[in-house]
Amino acid sequence: MMNTQFCHLSRETPTRAAAWLALVLGVGTWAPSSASGQMRTMRAWHFIPAADGEGCGLSLDDVPMPEPGPGEIQVRVRATSLNGRDRAILGVSRCPFRTAAAQVPLSDGAGEVTAVGPGVTRFDVGDRVVGTYYAGGWLDGDRPDGALAMRRGVPAQGMLSEVVVGSEDGFVEIPDYLSYEEAATLPVAAVTAYTGLFKYGDLQPDEYVLLEGTGGVSTFGLLFTVAAGGRAIITSSSDEKLERAAAMGAFGTVNYRRTPAWHEEVLRLTAGVGAHEVLEVGGEQTRPEALQSMAIGGHMALIGGLTGFGGTIPFDILFDRDLSVTSYHVGSRADFEAMNRFMAGHQIHPVIDKVFDFRDAPGAFDFYLNGDFMGKVVIRVGS
């Protein structure tokens, strides 16, 4: 049975959501189709305030069909997926969305182009596309000022909708060998892992890579490390997940629950060398162990805060081991396209734990919140 503390299909018993999003709110609008003189509609999920004032809920609503303007494309969404930021939305008590139909969730989504606006040159009707995290706000190079306001799923409108419209600059082509469900897993987790390892890091064959947990970023990190000839070491509290990781090519595995000082096991597995690259998704409780696990000259990609965003990075460890640390927000459209070429060259398929139907989106949120999955959780929007 679905955990109704967090998710429900009705408007009267909504889920918990995140107050921290109030600082970055942005509300889009839907434009009706007037070709026949009648308004066409579609279905979209929205965050709404809980009836008791505690947290947010999910509401499935009929809304006007959006039509593309100049430079925009209309996309029939076929699949979406959840990320850690969606867990954060559910994890606090006060909902920042004060009106119905204000915010469509989810940063990830893939589908087919069904209409193009005037001046569009990058896509044609029928093309298979996947949205970039920044909805066209970061094309290449360093992240420009203002790009954070264009992040899909908050503050920009998300992808948990039957149809979306956006700038043609905010989409990339789906590699031919990937399904819509697979493509929908890429925009946040895969690009984050790729840029950490290859853009901000410099992963070389036979180097050791430390990956924390078996969520989306770490699982993509495992796939990319193996494809590049690196040696991935992955941590988890689940022996079953560690066995799956080993079957996927992990060089070593560490159960951090049985081995609290797990940096010692990482050093043992690497014959004292340590990890050359670290995708640090755990936050303040994992960062100290990860730093002690690193090789001289190693690089840490500072990504997430599953256990909190506090804590410090001791200068003496950085200085003694000549370490470098990079913090960043996913990556640009050019990074996404480079990753797609890498994936296609190695025929890499994402790891999808479970696929939910569009009408059971609250069930997907609830399943994601419990954390008992490996890789990505997908919502199929249509066939």
**In this predicted model, what pLDDT tens digit does every residue of 346-365 receive, in sequence order?**
999 999 999 999 999 999 99
What integer pLDDT is reported at residue 7 of this predicted model? Answer: 38
How far is 84 from 6, CA to CA, in rounded Å? 16
The answer to whether 322 and 296 have CB atoms below 8 angstroms apart is: yes
Residue in this structure with the two tokens 């060089």, named with its chain if needed: 251
Helix (H) or strand (E) holding 302: strand 294-302
The answer to whether 171 and 201 have CB atoms below 8 angstroms apart is: no
What integer pLDDT is reported at residue 92 of this predicted model? Answer: 55
The percent of residues in the chain predicted with pLDDT above 70, rounded, is 86
Dihedral pair phi/psi, residue 300, rounded to 5°: -110, 125
How far is 74 from 82, CA to CA, in rounded Å? 22
What integer pLDDT is reported at residue 150 of this predicted model? Answer: 96
Give me the mean pLDDT over the 35-42 stretch: 68
Query: Model pTM?
Result: 0.88
Residue 14: pLDDT band with limits 50, 70, 90? very low
Q: Is the pLDDT of residue 325 over 80?
A: yes
How far is 55 from 6, CA to CA, in rounded Å? 9
Give me the mean pLDDT over the 332-343 stretch: 98
The answer to whether 27 and 158 have CB atoms below 8 angstroms apart is: no
Residue 46: pLDDT band with limits 50, 70, 90? very high
Please classify residue 105 by burial: count the beta carbons closer than 10 Å to its beta carbon, then call 0-12 exposed, 13-18 middle and 19+ buried. Answer: buried
Dihedral pair phi/psi, residue 274, rounded to 5°: 95, 175
Q: 1 or 317: whose pLDDT is higher?
A: 317
Give me the mean pLDDT over the 105-120 stretch: 98
Helices first, then strands: H and E counts in the chain:
10, 15
Q: Give the range with max mean pLDDT: 29-38, 87-96, 374-383.
A: 374-383
The structural domains of the chain, ordered by start, are: 19-188+331-380 (3.90.180.10), 201-327 (3.40.50.720)
The answer to whether 284 and 311 have CB atoms below 8 angstroms apart is: yes
CA proximity to 196, closest of 155, 230, 159, 147 = 230
How far is 215 from 234, CA to CA, in rounded Å? 11
In sequence order, which ranges of 166-277 are alpha helices (DSSP H)? Answer: 180-183, 191-194, 216-227, 239-247, 262-269
Angle at alpha carbon of residue 166, lines to 163 and 168, rounded to 5°: 120
Q: Is the pLDDT of residue 104 over 90?
A: yes
Q: Is the pLDDT of residue 93 over 90?
A: no
Residue in this structure with the two tokens 């959780």, named with its chain if needed: 377
The answer to whether 279 and 215 have CB atoms below 8 angstroms apart is: no
**Four-residue CA torsion sign, 277, 279, 284, 290:** negative
How far is 274 from 6, CA to CA, in rounded Å? 41
What integer pLDDT is reported at residue 95 of this predicted model? Answer: 76
Question: Could you tell me the two tokens for 360?
Answer: 């059971």
Cα-based torsion angle of the residue sequence 305, 77, 149, 68 in order, rounded to the nearest 10 degrees: 180
Q: Is the pLDDT of residue 18 over 50?
A: no
Q: Is the pLDDT of residue 17 over 60?
A: no
Question: Could you tell me the two tokens for 316?
Answer: 């003496």
The percent of residues in the chain predicted with pLDDT above 90, rounded, is 72
The answer to whether 148 and 127 have CB atoms below 8 angstroms apart is: no
Digit-coded pLDDT (tens) for 233-289: 999 999 999 999 999 999 999 999 999 999 999 999 999 999 999 999 977 778 889
What integer pLDDT is reported at residue 308 of this predicted model? Answer: 64
Give me the mean pLDDT over the 298-306 stretch: 86
Amino acid 258 reads R
Residue 38: pLDDT band with limits 50, 70, 90? low
Residue in this structure with the two tokens 């590049």, named with its chain if needed: 228
Strand, helix or coil for residue 294: strand
Residue 90: pLDDT band with limits 50, 70, 90? low
Peptide bond into 68 cis (omega under 30): no
